Structures are given as structure tokens and as C-alpha cells.
Amino acid sequence: MQSSPFSARNARVLAPVVLGFVVLVLWQLASWAGLVAEQFLPSPLHLAARFWRELTVGPLLPYAGTTLLEAVVGSLIAVLVAVPLGYLVARVPLVDTAASPYIAASQAIPAIAVAPLLVLWIGYGLAPIAILCAITAFFPMLITTVLGVRQLPDDVLEAARLDGANTWQTLWWVETPLALPSVLAGIRAGVTLSITGAVVGEFTMGGQGLGMLLTLHRDANDTEGLFATLLMLIALAVALFTALRLVELWLAVRHPRTPLLVPEPDPDPAHGAAS
């Protein structure tokens, strides 16, 4: 007997929820039984209480706001550079040949190694950390844009040109709707990685973000504080990912993944007046 799509969908939702609940219960029982030392791994109940305290009366929200700002600014910089460059790499063979070796070589350099250079060139503050976030988010945005544009069906593009669409009309009305899901997937991945870039930047360049808060808790041997800060980092990444996913779903409803109709050119005014 085959399961219905509804029950299969419920299973996909419930399975991770049940697994997480079982892990938390076993974790709590192990803590109560003394199998795990509190100074190394606090119990879920203690962590929940500490997280709430840090959230309401502690510095967690202001520090999280700083990290979020750095990640968002860095992601915007990455989008403005990676998406146009990805389109050019996919469409212009000369750009692909010239830029691809440098793009590949850039991935051999860890982001943390660039941080000292950013400090020397720019100094401390929001700007160098945002640039580090942009560097971290750049590659997935670029690659998914290249793949999305290269996978566009040639027959659809040719039909648009035969219909009289110029280069800009083809880009806006045909290529953009078809490549948008792939581009948005890369933006989602890049924005999530930008949170990591912000924390790495705060580790190496200071600041008032969650990376600095992790450093303070580490120096104080505050395990509960470390876990509370990690929970906030996870919450930020999930919130950004979910927000972009909702935007993608909204765009999919408003503009399905089909090329939009190219507007007909306006008739000649003189001809219209004569008729």
C-alpha cells in the first residue's frame, strides 16, 4: 500500500523534529545522571535559561545586530559584484578565459588570511569585516549565476531574437526569469556563509559582534555563554536563509519560471496618425 503525498510530506517534517527532541531528551537525561560534566556540556534546560537571560538582559541582541549588519552589507557587495560578473563569464568567452583562473585561484586563499591585509588597507570597523563577508559569500553566488545562465535553453533565446527582442529585452524578459532560481539559490548560500565571514572578521579584527562575544566567553571559560552565542548565530543564519527562501517563493508565484512575453515595439507615431 503506497503512502499518500500528504503523509510523506508529514514524515519529512516530523522526522527531524522527532530526532531533535530525542537528542535533547537523551542529552538532558545524561546531564541529570552525571554522565556529562556541566562545565564542558551544560544541560539543555540550563542552556535555554542562559540563552533567554542573555537575550533579555544580556548583550546578545546588540552584538547580534552588529553581526547581522556586517553580513547584510557584505552580502549586498557580493551580489553587486558576483551576479554581473557571473553573467559575463557565462556569456562572453573572453571574460571566461581571462577571469576563470583567477577566480579558481582565489578559492585557495582562506578568508581569514585576507583579514590582516584588510586591516592594513582599510583599518578597523564595519568596512573591513563587511568586505570579508563579501569575499566569503562571493564564490557560491558567482558559480550559481554562471550555471544558471549557461543552462538557459538556446531555442527559447533564439525564439526571442527572431521575435525582434534586442539584447536588453532578451536579458530582462527571457534570461532573468529563467536564471533567477539558480541565482537566488546562490544568494541564499552566500548570505548564510556571510555570517561565518562576519564571525571570522570579528575574531581577527575585533568589533562589537557575536565573534567578539565568543572571544569574551572563551576567555572567561563560560561554556554556557559560548553555547548561547552559538545558538544566536544559528538563529541568524536560519532567519536570513528563510527570509530569502520566502522571497524566492513569492517571486516564483508572481513570475513563474517561464520567459516573460517581450513587449511589442510601439507603432510608428506617424503611421498611427496617418491611419
Residue showing cell 578597523: 124
Confidence tier at 123 by pLDDT (50, 70, 90): confident
| Residue 4, C-alpha cell as written in the block | 499518500
**CATH level 3 topology of 61-259:** MetI-like fold (1.10.3720)
pLDDT at 166: 65
Report the share of the chain in percent with pLDDT over 70. 84
Average pLDDT over residues 136-164: 82
pLDDT at 75: 94
pLDDT at 39: 77
**Cβ(244)–Cβ(137) below 8 Å:** no
Q: For residues 170-195, b (16+ Cβ closer than 10 Å) or e, as one string? A: bbebbbbbbbbebbbbbbbbbbbbbb
Q: What pLDDT, in 10s, does the model give residues 187-209?
A: 999 999 999 999 999 988 888 89
Confidence tier at 232 by pLDDT (50, 70, 90): very high
| Residue 14, C-alpha cell as written in the block | 516530523
| Residue 170, C-alpha cell as written in the block | 532578451
CB neighbour class for 204 (10 Å; exposed up to 12, middle 13-18, buried from 19): buried
Instruction: Point out the least confidently predicted range of 3-7, 92-96, 189-193, 215-219.
Output: 3-7
Work out the number of other CB atoms within 10 angstroms of the CB of residue 151: 11
Average pLDDT over residues 208-229: 90
Name the packing angle between helices 60-91 and 176-205 (round to 10°). 130
Q: What pLDDT, in 10s, does the model give residues 24-68?
A: 888 888 888 888 777 788 888 888 999 999 888 888 999 999 999
pLDDT at 262: 45
CB neighbour class for 98 (10 Å; exposed up to 12, middle 13-18, buried from 19): exposed
Q: Which residue has the higher pLDDT, 255 or 250?
A: 250
Average pLDDT over residues 85-111: 87
Report the share of the chain in percent with pLDDT over 90. 30
Confidence tier at 261 by pLDDT (50, 70, 90): very low
d(Cα 235, Cα 246) in Å, to the nearest integer?
16
Residue showing cell 582599510: 122
Would you say residue 266 has pLDDT above 70?
no
**Cβ(135)–Cβ(197) below 8 Å:** yes
pLDDT at 273: 44
Average pLDDT over residues 251-272: 54
Indicate the domain borders of the chain.
Answer: 61-259
